[in-house]
Amino acid sequence: MSEFASPFDALYKRALLHAQNREHAEAIDAFTEALRHAPEYADAYVRRGMCYAALNDLERAVQDYSRAIELEPEHAGAYYWRAGAWLRLKEWKKAAADRALAVQYGSEDALAIDRIMEDYKRAWEVLG
């Protein structure tokens, strides 16, 4: 019997290993293939979005986080990571709104977003 229950499981685990090894392009490919087998699996979109963000492809990251939220409207992690992408895109209001939703849906990491938002605000005040 195989260690993996389905092709999705094998591909998803491969994608996670690539991501863990910071092989983001390979991880994206594996997540994309995994999603062909399970297109409704929100966590795969979040994880792929994290890889896009690591490659500074923030628009695609936001698309993936948003798709995860469409699938699971109370996915705290998707809101948390999308808030981080919005920050990097200088979309402060969207970042704040997603941060609030991340907290509402149970993210314990949202305080990190608060610190990051404050750092960005101070930096932009200094830089103009």
The whole-chain average pLDDT of the chain stands at: 89
Closest CA to 48 of 101, 110, 38, 63: 63
pTM: 0.84
How far apart, in whole angstroms, are the C-alpha atoms of residue 23 and residue 15? 9
pLDDT of residue 4: 52
pLDDT of residue 7 exceeding 70, the answer is yes
| pLDDT, tens digit (0-9, with 9 covering 90-100), for 12-27 | 999 999 999 999 999 9
Residue whose pair of structure tokens reads 């938002």 in the numeric block: 117
Domains and CATH numbers, the chain: 7-127 (1.25.40.10)
Top-confidence residue, 5 or 78: 78
Per-residue DSSP letter, 72:
-
